[in-house]
Structure 1
């Protein structure tokens, strides 16, 4: 038996679907050094666990490093992540910032707190990738996130576009990847609970009150009484984004 033990159906789905997407889009190559944007939420923690398994399965060597930017609402919330990475032999960079509180002050007059904080954290993640010589930055977005982003772009920007699965930045020096984009949120949550991942609560005062939350609520109402609608939307948007990415690489 493998070192990670026997997997449940949900866990197997997470590992296999992630591997399928990585192969389909040529997501990584030998010697890849992957920075994992680990927020401490269920999505990024699940991705961290799955990539640690896929690393052992891959026919070539890759390196993993967890990158956590604490937004500053709870200065000790990242402790479970630090302990988990130490127990699993994964390198980690954890950094405490004041990005969250700053996003809710007069400093941020033009944007939503979520957008401003996210922008600051992403900029810092890019800097860390440069400083550590990382070749990839992985985000734990799933199929649900892709669908919501697609409709947000239609409603707010007039653009029919979701999230890229594999996208080059800085003239190809860094690739932003989303290995778990084929997974639905329900499967992610179920597998994370079965692995007993030490996920912690998001204490941001804007959590649950963002434009993204509004769009997600609207979508849930749309497919509430017909599961086929949800499946068709997910399949169409996921297929489109994976196909677009496949053509680029």
Structure 2
């Protein structure tokens, strides 16, 4: 008679607590290291944490609040949510949650949903326009209220995925930096989750029972370029565990002389002897030039 294997017993409550404690400690360490490595937060900073209602931004706020209690510098935290007036959006969820924490917060109300729905043809990706409108609203609020840092919930996997998006679809080597000065020079954007794995964020969000709000505007759209890249990274990670972490580390070890961008490395001067070099027109024109014999 065949004997079925016994099912794995569920982890005991004390074991789960130990695992959650270890995970929380790891997240605090990774976020603290990112803040230190990139000089993200200084003494006296007013940090605006952009809270969407997803697992990433909830985790960002949670870890920053924990670090704030023992940080070597004093800084304030304000959670800011942009209510984009999506149909069925549960507007009470975030305020109720933030009040329960006693966190300073503000909700910006701006009907970007109608704008995106009107401008983007049905079936086309809404993410790009939605992102620009959202960024504009948040930047405006940050400027009006004197915030010195804008904290976003992008994590390690987002940074790696953005690199491949730009590589595959835009033919450039660029990514999503952990710290960024906005184009107008008025805002410093920080990504304290830059070293954190998405799987760890998902586990932390589940353990903390955050009231997740799904994005029904763009998050449910299929066949997005980012989803294609994430599927590729997931497959790589299954085949070769640790590969995504290796790629993430490589993004912090750039060697311009080993690439091909003459704006980043002076290839013209490399090994050049005395005398002016002919320009591209001379090489491409095929003209005959007198040479000393």
Instruction: Give the TM interval when normalised to the shorter protein.
Output: 0.7 to 0.9
Candidates 153, 156, 167, aligned match of 1:143: 156
Given the two structures, how large is their TM-score scaled by the length of structure 2? Answer: 0.73
Contact between 1:36 and 1:65, CA under 8 Å: does it hold in 2? yes
Residues 188-227 of structure 1: pairs in structure 2 closer than 5 A: 188-204=201-217, 207-209=220-222, 210-227=224-241
Which shows bigger deviation, 53-62 or 30-39? 53-62
Candidates 26, 29, 33, aligned match of 1:16: 29
The structure that has the greater radius of gyration is: 2
Structure with bigger helix share is: 1
Which shows bigger deviation, 166-175 or 140-149? 166-175
Contact between 2:51 and 2:80, CA under 8 Å: does it hold in 1? yes
User: Which position in structure 2 is the counterpart of 1:83?
Assistant: 96
Residues 48-127 of structure 1: pairs in structure 2 closer than 5 A: 48-74=61-87, 76-105=89-118, 107-108=119-120, 112-127=125-140
Shift of 1:215: 1.6
Given the two structures, how large is their TM-score scaled by the length of structure 1? Answer: 0.86
Residues 33-52 of structure 1: pairs in structure 2 closer than 5 A: 33-52=46-65
Q: Does 1:184 align with 2:197?
A: yes
5+ residue gaps, structure 1, are 242-249
Candidates 167, 173, 176, aligned match of 1:160: 173
Contact between 1:135 and 1:173, CA under 8 Å: does it hold in 2? no
Q: Taking structure 1 as reference, are residues 223 and 187 closer, same or farther at Cα in structure 2, changes over 3 Å only?
A: closer
In angstroms, what is the RMSD of aligned CA positions?
A: 2.2
CA offsets, 1:113-166, max 9 Å, x none? 111011100000000001111011000000110111000010122111211111
Q: Secondary structure at the residue paired with 1:8?
A: helix
